[in-house]
Structure 1
Amino acid sequence: MRQNAVMPAGEDECGEGSTPLLFEEVLAMRSRERTRPKRERTRYLMLSIVARHLRASPGRLLTVEALLDEAGLSRGTFYNHFKDMDECASVLIDLFFEHVMSRRPTKRGPRGSYDAILEANTAYCRAYEANAGMFGLFSQLATRDTELLRMRERLNSEWVDRIIAVVARRRGRPFGEDERRRFEGVLRILIAMTIESLRERFVHEDALLCRSFPTADSLAKALSDQWYGAMVEYERPSTPG
């Protein structure tokens, strides 16, 4: 399974000035592609309906009966694809994060460290806003799925390693063991802060956060200010010996 580590989504989903693509639309398009086998198209149809309902009620799954009523399919058809709704949800989450992780931002010219942080956070906030139901479902599943929790740990660790490598190049010297350990801790705090802020704003719709940050971009700016303020000490270039 995939997991919601902090990472930028692709330009086609969250590019500058664009409207993020709803994952339910991705699934619906797949369900209409005649080049796919009928069984596969039926599976995507059911998944797209579940995803659409998650957007209206983040973290809340349809019942099998409600799904079949909307899809116009028989009960047997559902059980030919999934053991139960929990398995359906797991497949949906796996496909969602596979889709997000497959995206690559367009490479641009040289940017300052703040600009790079803002670009990544803006992309992620827009993706989260558009697909809050999917992230809400992940949070629900992760409370009882140890595989998801292990995947989260691994992916977030990989993200921390990538950031540290970039910062080390910027400042012109590698990190010592103690300094790296402190920086890793700071980055994990920033990741946890970002994920919780996004969940409270877009899944739980916290009233204060909604008033303070009415758009995904305004929240991205606030998060980026926190990231930059915490990271700037570690980005200082090395001084000549």
Structure 2
Amino acid sequence: MIPESQAQSPAQAPDVACFSEHLAAMAAGVRKTRSGERSRLRLLAAAARLLDRVHHRDLLVEQICQEAGVAKGTFYIYFKSKDEFLLDLAARYVAFEIQAHPRLSSKNSDFTNMRLWVTWYERTFAANVGILKCLVQMGAQDPGMRDLWHQRNARIVDRSLSGWMKTRPDSDPALERMVIRTAGTMMDQSLFERYGVQTGQGVEVPGDPERIIDLHALLMFRALYGHDPDPGDLPSDSPFRRLLRAG
């Protein structure tokens, strides 16, 4: 089991939330009509939506304000520059992602929890690829954004390692951390390629994203546990289920 457990059906994938929708809901929940926080959240939600369609270098303050339904001057009341604004947006996203980290059931098999965790991670990535692309690509030049990306990865590993060590208290935490980070990097590179997060367009086009989830969960499970899962823990239509039985 990876993260800390809480009762959950083995067949139920964790809820996946879109960050822009989360920000818009927060803005709508602000009671005061002229609240500065409402305007700030509307600007952030607008940018999160636009980043799914516009590269961060091409994103204009005027576009953000138009999308948010506020006057252009409103932006500079709350933010000194677009870079500062995007750093704030990315920092809020990292906090949002950590809060959404799934809690899995100790009643599930280890592989079921592994697959649920991978499902959460990959679907969350797909639902918020614009902001993640901004975070990674800006991080190549901006030290603040780069540090934020590293902090994000470290926090996800910390949450995962905490649950993992509860199941194997005699394991070496440093070694387990290295395995988790290495396996996670493998998954990230596949996602980067699929969604064009790095320079250029993605070229990996899987026929069925669910099968990619199965594959990543299986490879991560093998790396962490050192053996194959029970084939019955995979979805009934998974081709890997038949391969495990044949092996």
Scaled to the shorter chain, the TM-score interval is 0.7 to 0.9
Taking a change above 3 Å as real, the CA distance of residues 84 and 187 of structure 1, as seen in their structure-2 partners, is same
Q: What residue is the counterpart of 2:206 in the other structure? A: 211
Paired amino acid for 1:108: S
Check 1:7–1:46 CA distance in 2 against 1; reply closer, same or farther (3 A cut).
farther
Please give the per-residue CA displacement for 1:160-190, whole angstroms capped at 9, x wherever unaligned: 4555554454346333xxxx65544333221
Aligned to 2:52: 55
**Equivalent pair of 2:206/2:212 in contact (CA under 8 Å):** no
Q: How many residues align?
A: 217
For the residues of structure 2 that align with 1:17 and 1:157, how far apart are their CA atoms? 23
- Which deviations, in whole Å up to 9, do the C-alpha atoms of 1:127-150 show, x marking residues without a partner? 111111111111122112334434
Q: Where does the alignment leave 5 or more consecutive residues of structure 1 unmatched?
A: 1-5, 9-14, 236-241
CA distance in 2, matches of 1:161, 1:64: 36
Match in the other structure for 1:20 = 16
Asked whether the equivalents of residues 7 and 159 of structure 1 are also in contact (C-alpha less than 8 Å), the reply is: no
Candidates 183, 195, 202, aligned match of 1:202:
195
2:52–2:129 CA contact under 8 A, matched in 1: yes
* Candidates 231, 234, 238, aligned match of 2:224: 231
The 1:114–1:63 alpha-carbon spacing in structure 2 relative to 1, beyond 3 Å, is same
The answer on whether the counterparts of 1:58 and 1:203 sit within 8 Å (CA) in structure 2 is no
Which structure has greater helix proportion? 1
Q: Unaligned stretches of 5+ in structure 2?
A: 5-10, 229-247
Matches of 1:21 and 1:29, distance apart in 2 = 11
Q: Which of 97, 100, 103 is equivalent to 1:103?
A: 100
Q: Distance in 1 between matches of 2:44 and 2:180?
A: 34
Q: 1:38: Cα distance to partner? A: 2.0
Paired AA for residue 114 in structure 1:
F
Say which is worse superposed, 219-228 or 32-41, in terms of deviation: 32-41
1:126-141 to 2 correspondences below 5 Å: 126-141=123-138
How many Å separate the matches in 1 of 2:164 and 2:38? Answer: 45
Q: Percent identity?
A: 23
Greater mean alpha carbon deviation, residues 59-68 or residues 158-167: 158-167
The one of 39, 54, 58 aligned to 2:36? 39
Q: Out of 75, 87, 105, which is 1:90 matched to?
A: 87
Relative to the length of structure 1, the TM-score reads 0.74
If asked which structure has higher relative contact order (CA below 8 Å, sep 6+), I would say 1
Task: State the TM-score, normalized to the length of structure 2.
Answer: 0.72
Query: CA 1:70–1:104 in 2, change beyond 3 Å: closer, same or farther?
Result: closer
Shift of 1:58: 5.7
C-alpha deviation, 1:18, in angstroms: 7.2
2:193–2:202 Cα contact (<8 Å) kept: yes
